[in-house]
A and B are shown apart, each in its own frame.
Chain A
Amino acid sequence: MAHKRTTLLVAALTLGAALTACTGNTPQNQGGGNQGGVKVANDEPGKKVVIGFSAPAADHGWMAAITNAAKAEAGKYSDVELRVVEGTNDVNLQISQVETFINDKVDAIVLLPFDGAALTPVALKAMKAGITVINVDREFDSPFAARSTVLGDNHGMGVSAGNYVCERLKGKTDAVVAEIAGIDSLPLTQDRSRGFAEALASCGLKVSNRVAAEFTVESGEKAAANLLQAARRIDAIWNHDDDQGVGVTAAIKNSGRNEFFMVGGAGSANVMREIKADNGPHKATVIYPSTQGADGIRLARLVVQGKSLGDLVEVEVPRQVELYAPVVTKDNVDRYLPTAFES
């Protein structure tokens, strides 16, 4: 039996090789090189890749985690040399950092711009210089400014949170749902709120009370305190951001209210620990991955080494990777806790 299977396998392989030899347009691969889609094990060391990494200032937990995760990922590969520059919210400085990478002729740049539009000209310059640019989280305004883009799904976060609220409040048509948003004028906040409203509408609910904070602990506390004053009874709260959620939780504890459950956003480790221990208002959180920068590092390495994304048939690395926003509950928290960020 075992022998028969081996014979079959050899036959199939020979046939396949013959077919490829006859019909393939591309010259045969010499084990590596830059031809794209060489199906070797992706983690095996290839040619040396120098990657420059720049992100905004690490002024809240999620942003700090972006850089830390990127560094940790690069450390796993012996063929990656990562150059991380000072995180900055000054676009003038961030542009000069990218210019330095261009001068240094790095192989790839992984860039989480403070402002996507403002960093577009210099990213275009880098692409023109033949450098692989991977755009993370905040999009450039030109499709030619990056080889690939890694994004979180802001709209999807809202949808996931809304669906979870619907599920828990099933049949309660008079339920009071509150929302604590992040910085209201940012497109990402608008996307999250839109997704949340759409998902709630599908089960006949709506957002009764909505306040906006500014992603900081202090602003979260203030917004939540106001919200709790405004609404005498609440059934569910969705808070967009777990960093500001530290302040929201503090305000809830101070008020002594416990008639509602809370859903977080972004997915910090302390919220996940709270969900796991079931000792606070958080019963779930939706993830906005803080490992986007780390994924950017991996993609940059694959593109430069001419490898494909494993498990895809496509020979090139995709133009855009939009990450999923799963709901983390007590049942599945162990799966997500290892990659969660500390706020």
Chain B
Amino acid sequence: MSEDTAAVAAHEQQRAPVGKDNGRGISGLLASPAGRNTGLVVALVLLCLGGVVTAGDRFADVDNLLTILRLAAVIGVVSVGMTFVITGGGIDLSVGAIVALSSVWATTLATQGIANDTHWIVIVFTALLVGGACGLVNGALIAYGRVVAFIATLASLAAARGLAEIISNRKTQIVNVPGFAAFFDASVLGVPVLVVIFAAVAVAGWVLLNRTTFGRRTFAVGGNPEAARLAGIDVRRHTVMLYTLLGLCCGLAAVMLVARTTTGSATHGGLYELDAIAAVVIGGTLLSGGRGTIAGTVFGVLIFTTLSNVFTLNNLSISAQAVAKGAIIVVAVLLQQRLARRSGA
């Protein structure tokens, strides 16, 4: 990737050489944009086959499918937001803590009191507001304060969870707002509302990343910030917007988690940062920025949750599952490095 091309062109150029590898065997196929997703689909299908072979009807069952999707929904929404930040050349370690803080703030006695007097939607708005505000602070620290993203969000991780503990006094806050749980527990045409929300967020994320100026700018900023700046993009403002978007996703994930557990707690969202980053990375988004795929992220989330489900169904040990997860991440990253070297050449 040359230094002085305009940002958007830089992005196009980065994508272009990937296609040239077509026909160079499996790695060439995997290197094409469609091929990358094919690899993920194959991995997911293999996992499902494994599930069917080992657990049979227990795996291939509508209820089990919905169980997988419900589990994927919360972390999936966070991962979609994370795809934007990583594509834009950043990283956010504070997502789990933001989910916790949003869940706590949205379920305090005060919030619930207002919600009871007005409408349960107050809980949703509170969580989104808190999540968005956290993202805004992260973005501002990184873009205008010039703090490295890793450090800035590490600080937020500690601070947000600490604040959540202070607000909740480390107690679990139970939600007693009529209508709230009922709305999120319901199903639309047999599909749980939580899963519908995840699907909507994924589709909206795909459109935003691939079909809008905002998405183009995200690729540009992540691929080469200096080139993007020269091309007239306000890189700092765009960075703030990316982190705010992720914050909003965390707020939404918090609402979904509150609905699923009927509680807000400072312990919610433990290690979500790692789950989300892992899903994004095996999906094919480059950790160094400039290339990202929402479809890949969704597959990444589904691969991990399906893996977890297959292991659960087969009564397999804690340790074996952790090893399998680690192996999948390593394979995905090794593959990605090869691709990066080719496209960089």
Contacts and interface: CB of A to CB of B under 8 A. Distances in A.
Interface of A: 57-58, 83-87, 89-93, 95-97, 99-100, 102-104, 114-121, 141, 183, 185-186
B67 A118 contact: no
Contact of B174 (A89, A96, A141): A141
B260 A92 contact: yes
A103 B261 contact: no
Contact of B263 (A93, A104, A117, A185): A117
A227 to B, nearest CB: 22
A100 B64 contact: yes
Contact of A97 (B169, B262, B270, B312): B312
Given A96-B67, A103-B64, A185-B170, A89 B270 contact: yes
Contacts of B312: 85-86, 96-97, 100
Given A115-B261, A117-B262, A185 B169 contact: yes
A93 B267 CA distance: 13
Given A86-B321, A99-B70, A100-B312, A121 B262 contact: yes
A142 to B, nearest CB: 10
Given A115-B261, A118-B172, A90 B64 contact: no
Interface string B63-80: 110011011001100000
Contact of B318 (A86, A89, A104, A119): A86
Interface in B279-314: 305, 308-309, 311-313
Contacts of B181: 121
A103 B317 CA distance: 20
Chain B interface secondary structure, helix, strand, loop or mixed?
helix
Contact of A118 (B170, B262, B311): B262
Nearest to A99: B67
B268 A93 contact: no
A185 B171 contact: yes
Interface string B174-217: 10000001000100000000000000000000000000000000
21 contacts: A57-B318, A85-B312, A86-B318, A89-B267, A89-B270, A91-B265, A92-B75, A92-B257, A93-B308, A95-B261, A96-B67, A96-B68, A99-B67, A103-B58, A103-B67, A115-B172, A115-B261, A116-B172, A118-B172, A120-B262, A183-B170
Nearest to A53: B315
A186 B170 contact: yes
B262 A93 contact: no
B63 A103 contact: yes
A100 B75 CA distance: 18
Given A86-B312, A92-B71, A58 B261 contact: no
Contact of A87 (B271, B313, B315, B318): B318
A283 B45 CA distance: 59
Contacts of B234: none
Interface in B135-192: 165, 169-172, 174, 181, 185
